[in-house]
Structure 1
Amino acid sequence: MAANTSMEMISKVLETQLLQTAKIMEEQLDAEMEKMDKPDEDEMEVLKERRLQALKKAQQQKQEWLSKGHGEYREIPSERDFFQEVKESKNVVCHFYKDSTMRCKILDKHLAILAKKHIETKFLMLNVEKAPFLCERLRIKVIPTLALVKDGKTKDYIVGFSDLGNTDEFTTETLEWRLGCSEIIKYNGNLMEPPFQNQKKHGTHFTKVDKKTIRGKTCDSDSDD
């Protein structure tokens, strides 16, 4: 009897110890999980400081862009100015235009909107009659032409409206998409599909665009050669 009683007591003690151990482990696990879900004050301060620094950096970058003429669509007076403008900005879109070409005015409207939206990119316009050397160097033969310049080098061209649906009634979103294909702006949409709004209504047709240079591509008859 005494032996049985002793064994039962030992068993109960072991059971109690196991339950206490399991409870302690469970409490520790809960504490760890809570710590993961709720960062301590030091971690929260680090996260806040990182966000603050990121915001400051973004604001400084914005001010730097604005100081270099980003955020507006503006005309430069000569080809000499072109070289200085592209030298000081990573991404530049330059519209080579003629006053006599109506389609240049259509393009102006869309570029003015995008310049305000995409301040990471500089948007310029240059009269081809004031830039004969530059037009020859860049092989600009069709008006309007957009030269897309990254890191001081001409990466791509948008010649006429052939990449914009072959229509005068293309949307600003379509031009934005095309610029995004060349990575000259930060584009948040789907590059695989152009925003072909009113495509059926106007019978527009979009040319498949890759990221290679499209220099020399011709556009429709309303543009000046």
Structure 2
Amino acid sequence: MDIGFGDKNQIIGNMVNKVMLEGAEQQEAQIDADMAKYDELMNDEDALERLRAKRKEKLIQDQKKRLDWQAQGHGRYMELSDTKEFFHAAKTSQRLVVHFYRPTTRYCENVDAHFEKLCKKHMETRFVKINAEKSEYLVEKLGIVMIPTMLLVKDGKVVHHIRGFDELGGTDEFSTQLLAWVISQHSVLTYDGDMPEEYFQGKGVNSVHVAMINGKYGGSDNIREGFNSYKDYGDSDDDDYS
């Protein structure tokens, strides 16, 4: 498998294969455990009744949670008009993704299209946008140095910046599924499924990909304490913000 990493192709390939194999073994073990529980329940009417009651309670709780999310603005992709609205959103929503855009940057329309889909499918996360040209304070404090930038916020803290499309294969033709998976790697979205195959198909492997495989991704900054500008973001076809 050639994934474009020079002499280290075999090493990276082995790492990927190991991750996939471990995932398959875990899934098989989980299936066996689920089947054993199912067989046990089928012979215990009281257990079945308890399971029904538990599921009913979960449905009630899920519906309540969904209504709470809707009240906070989840399920709609909307624009925040000022700094006050941003801090309110970061405080009230446990998971928040902010698209810093500029009207004249055509790539921002791609992000808009993906966020319109994600906000409806992933109610657990709120998706919003902010015009960088009208939010100089936030641009400076949050280290927005490239447009588009997707800011990932969890529990009131910035956990990651997705600057441009380098993490999405270096192209604007990435899928909504891939974007969801990348966001989920920072626990700002719940992704149910495996790593999208397109992540490695024809896109090469760089230091960001290797870090993700090794579980070394992350870091956090408290939005109440200010931020340092990110100074080593590499070359890109996306617009630098200045």
TM-score of the aligned structures, taking structure 2 as reference length: 0.70
Superposed counterparts of 1:1-225, under 5 Å: 37-40=42-45, 42-191=46-195, 194-196=196-198, 199-200=201-202, 204-205=203-204, 207=206, 208=209, 209-210=211-212, 211-213=217-219, 215-216=230-231, 217-218=233-234, 220-225=236-241
CA 1:62–1:86 in 2, change beyond 3 Å: closer, same or farther? same
How far apart are 1:99 and its partner, in Å?
0.3
8 Å Cα contact 1:97-1:145 kept in structure 2 = yes
Report the alpha carbon displacement of residue 78 of structure 1 after superposing the two structures with TM: 1.2
Rg larger in structure: 1
Q: Which runs of 5+ in 2 are unaligned?
A: 1-38, 221-229
**3-state DSSP of counterpart to 2:70:** helix
Offset of residue 45 of structure 1: 3.1
CA shift for structure 1 position 93: 0.2
Segments of 5+ residues of structure 1 without an aligned counterpart are: 1-33
Q: What amino acid is aligned across from residue 98 of structure 2 in structure 1? A: C
- Is the 2:146–2:238 Cα contact (8 Å) retained in structure 1? no
Name the CA distance, whole Å, in 2 between partners of 1:153 and 1:198: 30
1:189 aligned counterpart, secondary structure: coil
Percent identity for Structure 1 against Structure 2: 35
Q: How far apart in 2 are the matches of 1:49 and 1:115?
A: 30
- Cα separation, partners in 2 of 1:48 and 1:109, compared to 1, 3 Å: same
Superposed CA offset, 1:58-109 (max 9, x none): 1111111111110121111112210001100100000001001111111111
Identify which of structures 1 and 2 has the higher relative contact order when contacts are C-alpha pairs closer than 8 Å and 6+ apart.
2
The Cα offsets for residues 114-148 of structure 1, whole Å up to 9 and x where unpaired, read as 11110000000000122111111111111110110
TM-score by length of 1: 0.75
Q: Which amino acid aligns with 2:135?
A: A
Residues 1:36 and 1:51: Cα distance change in structure 2 (over 3 Å): closer
User: How far off its partner does 1:46 sit?
Assistant: 2.6
Counterpart position of 2:226: none
- Could you tell me which residue of structure 2 aligns to residue 27 of structure 1? none
Q: How many residues align?
A: 186
Any conservation in 2 of the 1:79–1:130 contact (CA below 8 Å)?
A: no
Look up the SS of the partner of 1:146 in the other structure.
strand
1:14 aligns with: none
